Amino acid sequence: MARSSKQTEPPGTAARQWSPRVSAALLERLAARAAAPAATKTIVIEAPFSGEVLGHVPQGAPADVVAACAQAREAQQEWAQRSFAARAAVMLRFHDLVIDNSAEILDIIQLESGKARRHAFEEVLDVAIQARYYAHTAAAFLEPRRRQGALPVLTKAWEHHHPRGVIGIIAPWNYPLTLAVGDAVPALMAGNGVVVKPDALTPFSALWAAGLLEEAGLPRGLLQVVTGRGAELGEPLVDAADYLMFTGSTATGRKVAALAAERLKDSSMELGGKNALLVLPDANLRRAVPGAVRGITSNGGQLCISIERVYVHAAVYDVFAARLAVSLRAVRLGASLTFLEDMGSLIGADQLAKVAGHVADAVGKGAEVLAGGNARPDLGAYFFEPTLLSGVSAEMDLCRAETFGPVAAIYRCASVDEMVARANDSSYGLNASIWTRDTRFGRELATRIQTGTVNINEAYSATWASASPMGGFKESGLGRRHGAQGIVKFTEAQTVAVERLLAIDTPPFLNHQQYATLMSAAMKLLKRVPIVK
């Protein structure tokens, strides 16, 4: 759930200098990059730290999406003919530019999303890592390769991967750089054009990255950024693009998936989560407590893979719960553009109301607040304390619904089996965390958890790895990002086969019965022949 975007007529130049690196003039230059040349209205972008106006971007229309896809498709024709090495050179230059200009983008991310600088830095690292990873691996994943033919000797076969054309990316507000650009990198390396629709609340990071990609050598027009509201631009993007990558809520994901299915277009989605952390009786609490704090408070809890449910074995519950509550109360909140704070702001008024509402509903129905529980208007417009509650039960909204804030419920469990059962008792299946000194047992236990990723002795980040697929079970998504699946999905697979010597049919010197008998005997022999992958 996000705060509402405001609408106004084209503004005058704002005078505020937001940081030594981010001025009103810079934000205006970024807004001018939006692929909405005919827009007559703008969307007001709010700075969550203060609730003040940060800047404005064009309010794109469906026609802008259509035009952006057409321009990206035209540029894609030449880009698809470039070698993997040529595309990789662009991505490696982009990698360096992101790092070299990290101070500027850190300010932009913080100002438009309200997150702490340490969490903004995770986005910078992630985008650079994705650029480097796919620059070095795309060819291995996508170059033509031999495959087993229909029959050995008689046929040879090859697998080819062709770019789909134009990839539409609908990105959310919680990670405005990572989730706008992290998927664009493999899509581009696969030879596609890309049209990004960033969230209307956080468009500047995507616009900044688009400029840096062109500076790195990406052909102009190949990656387009259309700013505006998802309700108005989502369906036109589904219509005009050849593939959809969506990150956001499960409710919106259902709508996007239905639109794509009606048009027989493929899609990939990372959706919501109600992620569980399991503390086993042998866990190292000196590591588990700060790990849980990170899982609960990272990006203000506005992270699909953050921790909202904590299941603790009864043998260590009292000690762990007390230490976790103390540690959460010690989390440093603030709005500076420095690395001093542990946690920043929520994104806006609607999100603050949702988080506060979940806490109030739980407390009103009997839950106990062990830490936090309050908004902090003294720090900024949308700050909320890291919060831990016990006694949360099924009739409370907090129990099953995704809160998407720095709030977790803690539960005492009598056995490991109970912990697994309760972790799996959710319609979501995105991420889980297990804390144990016995990592072999932890790995075995992880396979019983119904989530796309399971972190052992870490809350969420260990599985967010370039080479490993990331996505959700159940209502937490479709498809995967990262690894081979993260780039192959942006291609169409094609098989080319050559028939040699004889036709795969009854030869003229045999009748059909003789052919069937011969082939049946051959099949029994072939079962012992290794399959060529």
Q: What is the mean pLDDT of the chain?
A: 94
The DSSP 8-state label assigned to residue 300 in this structure reads: G
Q: Is the pLDDT of residue 222 over 50?
A: yes
pLDDT at 532 over 70: no
Which neighbouring-strand residues pair with 47? Answer: 52
Query: Average pLDDT, stretch 430-439?
Result: 98
Number of Cβ atoms within 10 Å of the Cβ of 15: 7
pTM of the model: 0.93
Alpha-carbon Rg for the chain in angstroms: 26
Is the distance from CB of 196 to CB of 207 less than 8 angstroms? no
- What DSSP string describes 33-87? TSS-TT---EEEEEETTTTEEEEEEE---HHHHHHHHHHHHHHHHHHTTS-HHHH
Stretch (H or E) spanning 89: helix 84-100
Which residues participate in catalysis according to the annotation? 270, 304
Q: How confident is the model over 123-170, as pLDDT tens digits?
A: 999 999 999 999 999 999 999 999 888 777 788 899 999 999 999 999
pLDDT of residue 15: 40
Confidence of residue 16 (pLDDT cuts 50, 70, 90): low
Task: List strand residue ranges (DSSP E) for 436-490, in order.
Answer: 453-456, 473-474, 477-478
Contact 108, 124 (CB under 8 A): no
Q: Which two tokens stand for residue 343?
A: 């946690």
H helices present in 401-528, as ranges: 416-424, 439-446, 485-488, 512-526
For the beta carbon of residue 121, count every other beta carbon within 10 angstroms: 17
Q: Is the pLDDT of residue 82 over 80?
A: yes
Checking DSSP bridges between strand 275-279 and strand 307-313, what pairing results, if any?
A: parallel
Contact 309, 409 (CB under 8 A): yes
Hey, which residues does 169 pair with through a beta bridge? 196, 245
Sheet with 387-390: list strands edge to edge: 368-371, 387-390, 407-413, 307-313, 275-279, 431-435, 453-456
Give CA–CA dist 290/522, Å, rounded. Answer: 62
pLDDT tops 90 at residue 523: no
Q: Which two tokens stand for residue 521?
A: 């005997």
Residue 496 has pLDDT above 80, yes or no: yes
User: Domains, the chain, ranges and CATH?
Assistant: 19-142+162-271 (3.40.605.10), 275-471 (3.40.309.10)
**Alpha carbons 516 and 498: distance in angstroms, whole number:** 23
